[in-house]
Amino acid sequence: MTSRRVRPVIAALVALSITGMLGACAREAPTVSTRPPSVAPSSPEPSITPTATPTPPGFDKAALSIDDPNSIWVVADKLRPLNPLTFVPPDLIETPVQHLNPPTLRAEAANAIVTMFAAAKAEGAGGMQLQSAYRSYTVQVKVYNGYVASAGKAGADSQSARPGFSEHQSGLAADISAVPLTCALAACFGQTPQGIWLAANAYRFGFVLRYPADKTAVTGYIYEPWHFRYVGVALATEMKRSGVTTLEEFFGLPAAPTYAP
């Protein structure tokens, strides 16, 4: 939730409660065969009224809860806080991959990250690392308040989830950056070999790009090509097959561009 998003203030925010950021390194140069997603500013205005997609034979949208924070399908957005707000996942582990901040994730997501990073490197996308993973309620309070102090409440709400509303607090969200570090927590990450590969292949490992470029009116967040959410291979594959790019639209939930009054 997350995440909390990119701006010049990110180093100061992370320093409040997370280990310091590394400086930018030289850009990676490996190439991959997949094509980058379009992020042209002229893209059509996204719909703000998500509707449920048809359920194909063999896929059960009710198989897992989207309300229980222990479920890998839980949907957290500006209208759907975690319940309880101070939820702590019961199976957090340290993910054994290169990282800049504590690489804590729920066990299933952590195992998937390890496999995905190895596949990316083997398939020519280059090295990757965890930029940010699990954030406790307390840490998210500090991160969000830092954005408010620097960008105001409206600015903070477009970039960082309020405490209790953050996907990072679920232990299922990962901010990913390139190795060497380049375009970290920035839209240009989507044009790096790592970002291109992730957009095309993350579903194979159970991850979805949670905040697409053309869905701000649905998700409530700006384009974050570095923020991937673990939902399991079955759901990620079905979303890829159906072409539905947000959890809100897939499950027929209301768009969440802003918080409830």
List the beta strands (DSSP E) in the chain. 92-94, 104-106, 127-132, 173-179, 207-209, 227-230
Partners of residue 128 on adjacent β-strands: 178
CA nearest to 69, candidates 161, 172, 159: 172
Partners of residue 208 on adjacent β-strands: 229
Which is catalytic among the residues 224, 238, 248, 249?
Answer: 224
Catalytic: 238? no
Phi, psi values for residue 92, rounded to 5°: -70, 140
CA 17 to chain centre: 20
Compute how many other C-beta atoms are within 10 angstroms of the C-beta atom of residue 199. Answer: 18
Catalytic positions, please? 224
